[in-house]
Structures are given as C-alpha cells and as structure tokens.
Chains A and B, each alone.
Chain A
Amino acid sequence: MATGCMGPMAPAREAPDIQRALLERPSISIRKRLALGFLALFFLCVAVTAAAWMMLARLEVRLRFLEMADHYTMEIQQARRFEKNYFLYGTNLQDVREHLDNAKGILDSSGAEAEKVLPPGVLKQMREHLERYDALLRRLEGMDRAGTSLPLQEKAAVEAEIRAHGSQMVTFAMDLAQKERTTVHETMALFQRLPVIFLAALLVVSVLVANFLARQMLGPLGRLMATTQRIAQGDFTPLVPARRFRDEFSNLAVALNTMMRELQHRQEVLVESHKLQAVGTLTAGVAHELNNPINNITLTASVLEEDYASLSDEERLDMVRDLVEQASRSEKIIRNLLDFARESEIKTESLDLAELLRGTTSLAANQVKLSGAKISLGLPENLPPIHGDKQALSQVFLNLVLNALDAVEKGGVVKIEAEPCKEPGFVQVNVADDGHGIPTHVLPHIFEPFFTTKSRGKGTGLGLSVSLGIVRQHGGDIRVQSLPGHGSTFTVVLPAARVPAVGDKRS
C-alpha cells in the first residue's frame, strides 16, 4: 500500500521534515530551566543575606558611635559640673580641664567616624565650641595663676561666654546622642522588618517560579496527552513544533511521531491484509457465479460443434450471440472484484455515497445469492457528497454487508440505508440485518482486533477493527445496536464534504 495519508488529517509537511523541524530548534532543556529557576531563588537569598550582613555592620558602627556620643556627652556634662563648682565655690579648674581633654580625645579619636554620621559642618562647629571653651578656660586659669583678678565686669563676661559655650556643647552632645539613638532605632526597626519583607518576596518569587515551571511542563504534557487521545481515535497526524525551542518533551514528540508513523504503517498493512481476506471471500462467490456463464458457453459451444452442419444460419448466429453475451457477462463478474482487489494509492476524492453503496452491493451480489438473503437499498436522491478514499470506504461497507449476510438466515433481509445524520455536517449509512443478533457479552468486544465469533479459518477478526480504523481516519465513527434474536444495525457516520469536490488534497 502506498504511504499516503487520509484526507482529513493530511499532514501539511512530510514526516521527516517535521521530525527535523522538531529537532532543529535551539535546546533549552527542562533541567536547565529548573536550574535557572532555582538559581534565581538562590541569588535572591544571597542578596538578602548580603543586605542583612551590611546592615548589621552599619548597626555595629552606629552602636559604637552612639557609645562614643554618650561618653562624650558625659565628659562634657562632667566638665560643666566642675565648671559650675568653680564659679559657685571657687574650686579649681583642673577637673574641668581633665574632662574637657577627655572629651577632646574622644572627638579626635572618633572624628573620622563622626564625620560619616553627622551632617557636614556640625563636627566643625562642635570643635569650634570646644576650642573656644578651652581657650576661655585657659584665660581664666592664666588669670588665677597670676593671682590677678580681673575687673569683675570682665570676669562676668568671660563667665557668661564660658557658660554659653558650655551649654552649646552640651546641647550639641545631647543632640548628637539623641540623633544617633534615633538612627539606631530606625536601623533596628528596619532590621526587624527585613525577614518579613524577605519572606514576602520569597513567596512572590516562589509562586512566579513555580507557575512558570508548571506552565513550561504542563503545557507540553497536556498537548502530548491530547495527542495520545487523538492517536487512540486513529488520527496519525504528526506533531508539529509549537515552541521556538526544544527540550525533553521534544524528544518525546519525536518518539510519538515515530510511533505514529509505525502505527500508520501497521494500519495500512492491516487494511490491506483484511482487504485480501475480503477478496478471498468474494472470490468464492465469483467463482460460483462464473460457473453459470462458463457453463452456458461450454454448452453452446459444444452444441455448435456437434451440430454445426445441421444447424440453420439463424440458429448458429443465435448461438454465437449467446457466446459473446455470456463472455461479457463473465467479464463483468470479475471486473468489480478486480477493481476492488487492485492495489491502489490511497487517494481522497469527493464521493457519491449512493453510487459507492450501489457498487459495494453489486460487489457482494454473488454472496447475496449464495446466502439466499435479500438486499434492500434505501438511497435518497439528495445526499451530500462525502470526502474520502473510495476503495477503503467500499471495503468498510462490503465488510458490514458480508457480516450481515453471515448473520441472516436464508430469506432474511439486509437493509442498507443512507441518510443525513442527526449531527449536522454528517451523513450516516445503516446496515441492518434481521439475523441472530450479537450476544450482549460479545458486543463490547466486536471492534477489538482479532476478536471473532466465526469458526477458525473463517474469520480473522480484523474486519470490524480495520473498518473502524478506516472510518475514524475519515473523521467518522461506527456505532452498533443489536438485539439478540432480532438482528443488528451498524451505523457508519461520516462527515459530509463541506467544500464541493476539492479533489485530491494530498500535498
């Protein structure tokens, strides 16, 4: 049988092209995509960890600075307390100096850090106040050491200036500590929020990644599932590339295509072998039927030979006419069978269902005579044409008619009726017999390959399975109703051709 394909599922391209197209796409394997997805998650974690680490380091700096600021504030406050004592009780200025030097030391040692934390200019102001305070203290000290006492007025001015700078210094120091405390608290609060933010982000990213991977995997999986169902229905159209890249699913698609090609081939072999079986059945009938014209020819020729001399011209002419007529009758008997049996390319064309059924019935005419049954054909005039392979469909109907003939008793009736189907766009052919029917327990199995109720050697059990295969390839279906003892009705549903006579669709 030719390697052609049936009409409704005629592939746009040849199978090897599709296989190549499937494999020629750039490869992005599922493994890679999984790895990328998890790598993205990993980088998110790394980023969050780094951020946390950096924040922690900053917090540490802040805390240290806060400590320093507190220390500084305390030194300044101490200095001022001694300063107050000096002014009130005339204690020495030595203690004030000591604490001031400590404060200066702190400011000097932490100056670099303070620079980072404080707004520009503040540190300079602080130093200026400190320097000025220091200078004033030195002046007071110098005066005290000299024993000279300034005029009261001047002393009051110095005192006021010292107080002013001292209070400024305290304000700055406390302000600094306060600011720093606020910053630390803010950082701490941020630090508390971080895990929550991270979890939320992780959740979003996880959902996105999971969704993406699921879509990547479930999409092709669904498509392959649909394909397997399609294959079960007998549609062997190869899968064509649907995405711009290939992955493990592409390999599966290639394997499925290979499987479909094999199945298609097996199906063709099955159809052919079943056709040969049908030809065998028909041949017995044809041989039987041929005996009649051959016998007529033998008898006529023998009489013509025996009595040639004594026959009149008219009688001889009558005999010769009989001979010619019987020879052409023989030819007709064989021609149908030869047409059916001939190996031919599968080709789809617009078919007149009524004509197809009449041809099939005449093919089975000898079997009908042998069985002693009657065939009743019900073919309405205005049937829509169908689209399909003539020989294959003829095989389907012949098989159903032969089965029906096997089922009926002598004198039974096999009704073959074509009519538009209830489902729009379909036509149906009913082959009904009034024979023994199909037992209920057998009915579910009749379309299984190699299932037969006929005795060994009489049936291969391929007929109905092959017929169903052919009809499904045409986009149709075979249904059966049977009542044991009352007969069976097989209904072949076929799509009506929508476009009038498009001819052979094969590319």
Chain B
Amino acid sequence: MDGPLHVLVLDDEPIVGKRLQPALAKVGCEVEVFDDPRPALARIAEKEFHIVVTDIRMDEVDGIEVLERVLALHPATKVIMITGYATVEVAREALAKGAFDFIAKPFKPQELRDVIAKAAAELGFKGLRQAAVD
C-alpha cells in the first residue's frame, strides 16, 4: 500500500496530541489529534483511519469503548492503546478485544513510532520504518 498512513491520536491530555502530531508527521503520517473522545468518535465514523492511537482512561468515554467502536466500523484499522498505568488486566482485555498492541505511559515518541511502524508493516505499508529510524 502506498500513500500516507492515516493516524488518529486520541488522548484527553492536550499535550500528547500537540507533541505527537509533528513527531508522527515527521515520518510521513497524516495525523489528526483529538483530546475529546466524542468528536474523535464522530470523525472515526466519517473516515477510516489506518491506525487509531487511543488512551484507555478518559473521563467521558473510555479507550475500550473507542476500540470497540473503531473495530465495529473498520475492522482493518489497527488500534494501539495507551495505558496510563500498565495494568495487566486492562491490557489483556484490550488485546482480547482486538487491539493491535499497547504502549504504557510514560513513553517517548520513538517508542510509539516503532509500534506504529509494526502496525503499518502488517497493513502492508512500506517506507515508514525507514522514516522512523532516521
């Protein structure tokens, strides 16, 4: 598959989106960031992203719900969960419900890029990995 990798990042901490946007754009991703789950879910209903990165614990809607909604609409989308506090149960639940992988806070942009690169590779994207390690 060619073309940009469409990524949606959802975390109720605005700084997460603010920093990940350029960090992921740098490796050739088309990034949309949200700090509120509702508009994010509305956007997901409109557009099929290749990859959705979502925080698990948010006030309004939690990450597991987002995961279910995404997979219900777009089964091919790879969903990467951000867990605030690496609890085995939540991670296991997310994986059981079809999450691609999870990444524990605090993480560096490179760690997320590595996970995204893995997901991209599974989706058949090429070139991202190279960009990721530049």
What is A's interface to B at a CB cutoff of 8 Å?
284, 287-288, 291-292, 294-300, 302-303, 306-307, 322, 326, 369-370, 372
Q: How far is the CA of A16 from the CA of B105 in the complex (A)?
A: 56
Establish whether residues B15 and A302, one from each chain, have CB atoms under 8 Å apart when the complex forms: no
Q: How far is the CA of A369 from the CA of B110 in the complex (A)?
A: 29
Establish whether residues A295 and B57, one from each chain, have CB atoms under 8 Å apart when the complex forms: no
Which of B16-24, B37-45, B120-128 contacts the other chain? B16-24
Q: Which of A288, A295, A302, A370 contacts B13 (CB 8 A)?
A: A295
Establish whether residues B23 and A306, one from each chain, have CB atoms under 8 Å apart when the complex forms: yes
Residues of A within 8 A of B107 (CB): 295, 298-299
The reply on B75 being an interface residue by CB < 8 A is no
Q: How far is the CA of A303 from the CA of B109 in the complex (A)?
A: 7
The minimal Cβ–Cβ distance linking B102 to chain A, given in whole angstroms, is 13
Q: A294-B105, A303-B22, A303-B109 are known contacts. Are A288 and B16 too (CB-CB below 8 A)?
A: no
Residues of B within 8 A of A299 (CB): 15-16, 19-20, 23, 106-109
Establish whether residues A287 and B15, one from each chain, have CB atoms under 8 Å apart when the complex forms: no
Establish whether residues B15 and A291, one from each chain, have CB atoms under 8 Å apart when the complex forms: no
Residues of B within 8 A of A298 (CB): 106-108
Residues of A within 8 A of B20 (CB): 299
Establish whether residues B22 and A307, one from each chain, have CB atoms under 8 Å apart when the complex forms: yes
Q: A296-B13, A303-B22, A369-B57 are known contacts. Are A288 and B106 too (CB-CB below 8 A)?
A: no
Q: How far is the CA of A299 from the CA of B16 in the complex (A)?
A: 7
List 26 A-B pairs, Cβ < 8 Å: A288-B84, A288-B85, A291-B84, A292-B13, A294-B105, A294-B106, A295-B13, A295-B107, A296-B16, A297-B106, A298-B108, A299-B15, A299-B19, A299-B20, A300-B15, A300-B19, A302-B23, A302-B109, A302-B110, A303-B19, A303-B23, A303-B109, A307-B22, A322-B15, A326-B15, A370-B57
The reply on B46 being an interface residue by CB < 8 A is no
Interface size class of B (residues with CB under 8 A): 10 to 19
Q: Which of A299, A303, A306 has the most CB of B within 10 A?
A: A299
The minimal Cβ–Cβ distance linking B91 to chain A, given in whole angstroms, is 14
The minimal Cβ–Cβ distance linking B111 to chain A, given in whole angstroms, is 9
Q: How far is the CA of A298 from the CA of B112 in the complex (A)?
A: 12
The reply on B2 being an interface residue by CB < 8 A is no
Interface residues of B in 24-78 (CB under 8 A from A): 26, 57, 59, 62
Q: How many A-B residue pairs have CB under 8 A?
A: 58
The minimal Cβ–Cβ distance linking B85 to chain A, given in whole angstroms, is 4
Residues of B within 8 A of A284 (CB): 85
Residues of B within 8 A of A302 (CB): 19, 23, 108-110
Where chain B touches its partner, the secondary structure class is loop
9 extra interchain contacts, Cβ-Cβ under 8 A, other than A284-B85, A288-B84, A291-B105?
A: A291-B84, A291-B106, A292-B84, A296-B19, A297-B106, A298-B106, A299-B16, A306-B110, A369-B59
Closest chain A residue to B60, Cβ basis:
A372
Q: How far is the CA of A291 from the CA of B107 in the complex (A)?
A: 10
Establish whether residues A295 and B16, one from each chain, have CB atoms under 8 Å apart when the complex forms: yes
Q: How far is the CA of A300 from the CA of B13 in the complex (A)?
A: 12
What is B's interface to A at a CB cutoff of 8 Å?
13, 15-16, 19-20, 22-23, 26, 57, 59, 62, 84-85, 105-110
Q: A295-B13, A306-B109, A369-B59 are known contacts. Are A287 and B85 too (CB-CB below 8 A)?
A: yes
Residues of A within 8 A of B110 (CB): 302, 306
Q: How far is the CA of A292 from the CA of B85 in the complex (A)?
A: 9
The minimal Cβ–Cβ distance linking A415 to chain B, given in whole angstroms, is 19
Q: How far is the CA of A287 from the CA of B59 in the complex (A)?
A: 17
Q: Which of B19, B20, B57 has the most CB of A within 10 A?
A: B19
The list of the 5 closest CB pairs from A to B, nearest first, reads A295-B106, A298-B106, A295-B105, A296-B15, A288-B85
Residues of B within 8 A of A288 (CB): 57, 84-85
Closest chain A residue to B62, Cβ basis:
A372
Q: How far is the CA of A302 from the CA of B109 in the complex (A)?
A: 7
Residues of A within 8 A of B13 (CB): 292, 295-296
Residues of B within 8 A of A370 (CB): 57
Closest chain B residue to A296, Cβ basis:
B15
Q: How far is the CA of A326 from the CA of B16 in the complex (A)?
A: 12
The minimal Cβ–Cβ distance linking B13 to chain A, given in whole angstroms, is 5
Residues of B within 8 A of A287 (CB): 85
Establish whether residues A291 and B85, one from each chain, have CB atoms under 8 Å apart when the complex forms: yes
Q: How far is the CA of A296 from the CA of B16 in the complex (A)?
A: 6
Closest chain B residue to A300, Cβ basis:
B19
Closest chain B residue to A298, Cβ basis:
B106
Residues of A within 8 A of B16 (CB): 295-296, 299
Residues of B within 8 A of A300 (CB): 15, 19
Residues of A within 8 A of B59 (CB): 369
Q: How far is the CA of A287 from the CA of B85 in the complex (A)?
A: 8
Q: How far is the CA of A322 from the CA of B13 in the complex (A)?
A: 12
Q: How far is the CA of A292 from the CA of B62 in the complex (A)?
A: 15
